[in-house]
Amino acid sequence: MTENFTNFIAGAWVAPRTGAYFENRNPADAGDVIGCFPRSGPEDVARAIESAQRGFARWSQTPAPVRGEVLHRVGDLLTQRKEEIARAMTREMGKVLAETRGDVQEGIDTAHYAHTEGRRLFGRTVPSELRHKWAMSFRRPIGLAGLITPFNFPLAIPTWKMFPALLCGNAVIFKPAEDVPHTAHLLVEILLEAGLPPEAVQLVHGEGSVVGKAMVEHPAITVISFTGSTETGAIIGATCGRMHKRLSLEMGGKNAMLVMDDADLDLALDGVLWGAFGTTGQRCTATSRLVVHEKVHDRLLKMICDRAERLRLGPGLDEKTEVGPLINEEARKKVEYYVGVGRDEGAAVLIGGERATGQGLERGWFYQPTVLGGVRAGMRVEQEEIFGPVLSVIKVGSLDEAIRINNGVKYGLSSSLYTRDVNAAFRAMHELDTGITYVNAPTIGAEAHLPFGGVKQTGNGHREGGWEVYDFYSETKVVYVDFSGKLQRAQIDTEAQIDTE
């Protein structure tokens, strides 16, 4: 019988007040039902918030180094259960095991990094402009953080938000994407096993337009962190703006790999295959545009098509599989739609361009790795995020033109340049209008101790990861202590501080 999973609210695993559930199926095999998960309603969100307020009152009083110890144990438990979680994640969202193991590892790294920040969480002590006056800043927790996450990194992205939020002393309410509730369930189990006070975390499953919306609109949740589509981010941004909420948005990308005529083409080939078809192209950092110098264009394109055509599609749990399915039928239809748009715009479908069938692939949401040649700047397949295994190839005559094309989209997450010319690489680092640039590596792959995020419509100026995210989840307070015993006025009595005797 199919298992009914529950929410985690007010310190207990509980059924939703709505009594309604949705099915979670394996995208590589639609007949494989993982379980039924709560289709929660606003009442469940309200209960979670009430409990989180109690959780916050206690957790925020726990010293930060001790909060860090809990996250240390979380990292150790994730390490112990890495293989089990990776397998559950592959079954749930389709990407291959090597990638889901990497996803869990990113959570481990984020936990261990958060642990050490518990002993820092620096404020600053600076000299005052007045004598016998002390000036310093320190960090305070903010309150309740609502975390809304997408399907493509079911463990890593929630940990990027949750671990720094908790380390800073906030309580969290977590709403995972509808396609990956099981991985979210396992993550919350681990937090509890590590000794997190139960009311410091709440897990509420359900639809974004119901549960996510209720969280964003509830005045008691003062911090929202969202990763997902630019369209949803815009809706959330409007509400948070109106309600004066602190908001971090991490949204779309249309990332380009630039390959110059002096590049190591074998290296670029490995990079583009990994960047474009890893996670079946469903990464916000996916290489969805390849901008190639005309002198090496035909050669590199042939190399790519030869290799991409032979990529092995299948269930991610099969160790021989190189490309898994798309997340669901809707995602596959979107890819099909864009391949049609590309054809209509005059692009050539060099390989792929079809649903993948045969050898059991018809049971899942598979689509062939697709390369569109003859793409020109300004076409929709060059501008819009497809979120699937589709690479648009654009021919250019110079680095300047390549940089212009890279920058000619509304997104600005990641970019990559393949060249052996150190001067060109340094110039591009400055001129490529993205939050991340890779030199001689594809557009994907972030490390936990560096900030992650993009410019333009990819984000709203905040970063995940690195030290920067701790700024987002804490409130800076400034304290002045005047121990002169008399009234001293800043900006006014400063002249008198100079000893002219």
Active-site hit among 99, 284, 322, 464: 284
- Give the other-Cβ count within 10 Å of 128's Cβ: 18
Q: How far is the CB of 204 from ligand ADP (least distance, A)?
A: 11
The two structure tokens encoding residue 102: 């990497």
| Pairing of β 124-127 and β 133-141 | antiparallel
Annotation marks residue 284 as catalytic:
yes
**Per DSSP, what are the bridge partners of residue 37?**
22
Q: How far is the CB of 151 from ligand ADP (least distance, A)?
A: 6
Residue entry with tokens 């970063």: 463
Question: Shortest CA distance to 382 belongs to which of 255, 470, 493?
Answer: 255
Our CB check for ligand ADP shows the closer of 216 and 256 to be 216
Q: How far is the CB of 256 from ligand ADP (least distance, A)?
A: 20
Our CB check for ligand ADP shows the closer of 120 and 333 to be 333
Our CB check for ligand ADP shows the closer of 86 and 148 to be 148
**Per DSSP, what are the bridge partners of residue 391?**
371
**Per DSSP, what are the bridge partners of residue 127?**
134
Q: How far apart are CA 171 and CA 127, in angstroms?
A: 34
What residue spans of 391-447 are helical by DSSP H? 399-407, 422-431
Active-site hit among 117, 250, 322, 464: 250
Q: How far is the CB of 160 from ligand ADP (least distance, A)?
A: 14
Is residue 356 a contact partner of residue 366, using CB atoms and an 8 Å limit?
A: yes
Q: End-to-end CA distance of the chain, in Å?
A: 90
At residue 308, the 3 state secondary structure works out as helix
The torsion region of residue 24 among left (phi > 0), alpha (psi -120 to 50) and beta comes to beta
- Give the other-Cβ count within 10 Å of 393's Cβ: 24
Our CB check for ligand ADP shows the closer of 100 and 149 to be 149
The two structure tokens encoding residue 144: 């309740």
Q: CA torsion sign, 212 to 183 to 473 to 434?
A: negative
Our CB check for ligand ADP shows the closer of 212 and 278 to be 212
The two structure tokens encoding residue 94: 């389709």
Question: Shortest CA distance to 303 belongs to which of 377, 391, 375?
Answer: 391
The two structure tokens encoding residue 377: 């700047």
Q: How far is the CB of 95 from ligand ADP (least distance, A)?
A: 14
Residue 456 CA to chain centroid, in angstroms? 16
Q: How many residues does the chain have?
A: 501
- What are the residues binding ligand ADP (CB under 6 A)? 148-151, 175, 177-178, 208-209, 212-213, 216, 228-229, 232, 235-236
Residue closest to ligand ADP (Cβ) = 208
The two structure tokens encoding residue 262: 């002096």
Our CB check for ligand ADP shows the closer of 141 and 176 to be 176
Is residue 268 a contact partner of residue 304, using CB atoms and an 8 Å limit?
A: no
Greatest distance between any 2 Cα atoms in the chain? 93
Our CB check for ligand ADP shows the closer of 296 and 446 to be 446
Our CB check for ligand ADP shows the closer of 52 and 216 to be 216
Q: How far is the CB of 422 from ligand ADP (least distance, A)?
A: 37
Q: How far apart are CA 89 and CA 81, in angstroms?
A: 12
Q: How far is the CB of 177 from ligand ADP (least distance, A)?
A: 4
- Give the other-Cβ count within 10 Å of 359's Cβ: 8
Q: How far is the CB of 227 from ligand ADP (least distance, A)?
A: 7
Residues annotated as part of the active site:
250, 284
